[in-house]
Chains A and B, each alone.
Chain A
């Protein structure tokens, strides 16, 4: 129970997003600009005041192009974070660090992506000759992220007795929340347990509904100091705590080569996060847990300390991760049922929960845990009122 130099010193004050879809006509740059523009309008800050930019190394839009298009001011700090879906919370957390250290006053963080087309998926663009870590898996037909995570999932199910019903709990919870969210891709599409059990395999033991969506879209947030945040239109979502992690001997995605492959980056990230937070897992009202694949939710529930190792599956029983349950998870529908934009929509939904404006609002939620990708170098945030 300690505070650190970052504790509640900054806040997310503006959020913005485009529509989510497949084959949208706008370019990734146009989508980024639209989301950033919406986030600035949301908090009433002029583009000329923005002096910091943060995004993912996988973001294709360059800072200069974004800044020139949106009409941003002089930029004095900019940064990118690696490892795809692990970056999101790190982008916001490092922006908070830049503000606290005086390198910037108003930071825009964003992610824009068009990956709905099958040809746009990274695994479909592999060169025939593979080196580095990929040579140990891809020649053998372990080609896609889903194959890589399915390998860990099978081992996890073997060690701890988790079942497909537990994975279905995750998919169904996300879908129920998406069915309340008009912005969600799956807003009008319910998902039953039968639908889940009868779905086609993608990589056994994972089926279609264990996978996130493929989405075109963009999201952005505006981060500034707590002092400035208090004068803006919406209740601030304070950055209460922030952490990143690369565990010792970790290999991203195909983490099969160390002593304990199922103890992923979430555990180290959680240790750091709780060590700099005044809150404990039991204090968390609602969580947005990165969900490129359903088993990542179960691993994250364990890693972030909501249950013991091996208990993440049963934790999801009896609606525990649905609205009204013990810990509502992914209340917008998240990557599996709202949109998959490298987890940035988890951050904006965390802000909505703290503001009290989610379409699956947890009554009186004073805080929200948001995490980025498990299974890759990762990051997490605790936002609070």
Chain B
């Protein structure tokens, strides 16, 4: 397993997001007082200033908002797979809720498994989950 960078699975404002990934759920933080969603997570609701917050499920479906194809020099684990893609996905139900991730050819495929020349902004995608180290990462496949 290459040495990918990993998130903090406990003790961080966003740890419930990563715990959700481990269960196969793409979660987003929402305010318990006014109900509005926010991404990335933060301790106070920017709309009503409540600190009561939860993570709730999303559709896991969106479209590609943008993408890049990194080439070396990169950290070693990523350099081995370069060129690979990194995409930003806008959720179908709220296009201002966005996630950075990778487009993969199949749920268990590497981040360099899609020909970059075939990636298009606007393409519909859905989330899949891959174990990486002790974490589970959301990745995306075309739908």
Tell me the count of chain A residues lying within 8 A, CB to CB, of chain B: 39
Known contacts: A147-B86, A204-B83, A254-B100. The answer to whether A130 contacts B7 by CB under 8 A is yes
A342 to B104 Cα, complex, angstroms: 36
Closest to B41 in A: A136
Known contacts: A130-B6, A147-B86. The answer to whether A140 contacts B68 by CB under 8 A is no
Cβ of B46 within 8 Å of any chain A Cβ, yes or no, is yes
Cβ of A155 within 8 Å of any chain B Cβ, yes or no, is yes
- Chain A contacts for B5, CB-based, 8 A: 126, 128-130, 138-139, 143
Instruction: Write the nearest CB–CB distance from B137 to chain A, whole angstroms.
Output: 6
Cβ of A154 within 8 Å of any chain B Cβ, yes or no, is yes
A133 to B42 Cα, complex, angstroms: 10
> What 1/0 flags go to A188-231 for Cβ under 8 Å of B?
00000000000011111100000000000000000000000000
Cβ-defined contact, B66 with A257, below 8 A: no
- Chain B contacts for A135, CB-based, 8 A: 7-8, 12, 14
Cβ-defined contact, A155 with B65, below 8 A: yes
Cβ-defined contact, B71 with A203, below 8 A: yes
Contact of B68 among A124, A132, A147 (CB under 8 A): A147
Chain B interface: which size bin? 35 or more
Cβ-defined contact, B40 with A139, below 8 A: no
- Chain B contacts for A141, CB-based, 8 A: 4, 70, 74, 78, 81, 84, 86, 102, 111
- Chain B contacts for A138, CB-based, 8 A: 5
Cβ of A249 within 8 Å of any chain B Cβ, yes or no, is yes
- Chain B contacts for A154, CB-based, 8 A: 66-68, 121
Cβ-defined contact, B86 with A140, below 8 A: yes
Cβ of A100 within 8 Å of any chain B Cβ, yes or no, is no
Cβ-defined contact, B96 with A258, below 8 A: yes
A288 to B100 Cα, complex, angstroms: 32
- Chain A contacts for B12, CB-based, 8 A: 131-132, 135
Some 5 contacts from A to B, beta carbons below 8 A apart, are A126-B5, A136-B99, A151-B100, A256-B88, A256-B98
Q: Which residues of A contact B (CB under 8 A)?
A: 118, 124, 126, 128-133, 135-144, 147, 150-152, 154-155, 158, 200-205, 249, 251, 254, 256-259
Q: Which residues of B contact A (CB under 8 A)?
A: 3-8, 12, 14, 39-40, 46, 65-71, 73-75, 78, 81, 83-84, 86, 88, 96-102, 111, 116, 121, 132, 135, 137
Per CB-CB distance, the 7 closest pairs between chain A and chain B, nearest first, are: A204-B69, A155-B66, A150-B68, A135-B7, A201-B71, A137-B100, A154-B66
